[in-house]
Amino acid sequence: MAQKIAFITGGNRGLGFQTALDLKDPNVKVVIGSRDQAQGEKAVEKLRAAGVDADVLQFDVTKPSDYKVAFDYFDSKYGRLDILVNNAGVAAGTFPGTGPEHSAGEVSSEVLHKVFETNFFAVVALTDTLLPLIKKSPAGRIVNLSSILGSLTLQGDPNSPIYHAKSFAYDASKTALNAFTIHLAYELRDTKIKVNSAHPGWVKTDMGGDQATMELSEGGKTSAALATLPDDGPSGGYFHLGKPLPW
């Protein structure tokens, strides 16, 4: 059995797939969650060709019934889970962009609920479901894919580079996710489990768009680093490429 078992939600493409690539290690078994089984299997073929010990689990983070499926899968096959990367996420409308779906004064409740359901509520529910298995790990790691856009400090600072980058539903969902990171890390402070938020950067993905400043090859580095932190690594933090970000 591999020394570490990792589960990456939304791992069949984009940042999730890149994170799986960056977790390449003979001692790590990577299981990617994919809503579409066929797409997931294609992704696994690519990962294996690149030397990653990978499998796929058909998984939709918006379907609570899939949480039990995931628990049973890891429990029956490995008896534990060492790494959980909560990668799956959505943005409202064209992102980054402007318009009613991004405005705090005009955003619809439907958009807010949709974005929060995937980016926050689903992450909390899935993590809580899998936590008993993570507690069985010698050194569990939980990585929540956040964004610098969730930083209230930077969003409120007129001199900040993201001051004018406002997408209310998305930004607020990531701020809430950061709160979950802080609270869960506090709850697990006397264990060997480490919980952190990761800002991957503005990456050229389907969500980030072609104007993004970072290549996809760089986008998984922060998540992979937090997923493999040493015993003396941080917990309850908010990081980008090893550097802390202000909440």
In the chain the first and final C-alpha atoms are separated, in Å, by 38
Counting the structural domains of the chain, the total is 1
pLDDT of residue 102: 85
Distance, CA of 135 to CA of 139 (rounded, Å): 8
Distance, CA of 173 to CA of 169 (rounded, Å): 6
The residue assigned the tokens 């309850």 is 236
Distance, CA of 99 to CA of 152 (rounded, Å): 21
Task: For residue 152, give its domain range.
Answer: 4-244
> The pTM is what?
0.93
pLDDT above 60 for 25: yes
Arithmetic mean of pLDDT over the chain: 92
Q: Residue 112 sits in a domain of what CATH number?
A: 3.40.50.720
Binned at pLDDT 50, 70 and 90, residue 204 comes out as: very low
Which residue would you say has higher pLDDT here, 57 or 209?
A: 57
Model confidence pLDDT, tens digit, residues 149-173: 999 999 999 999 889 989 999 999 9
Q: Nearest to residue 86, comparing CAs of 46, 132, 44, 120? A: 120
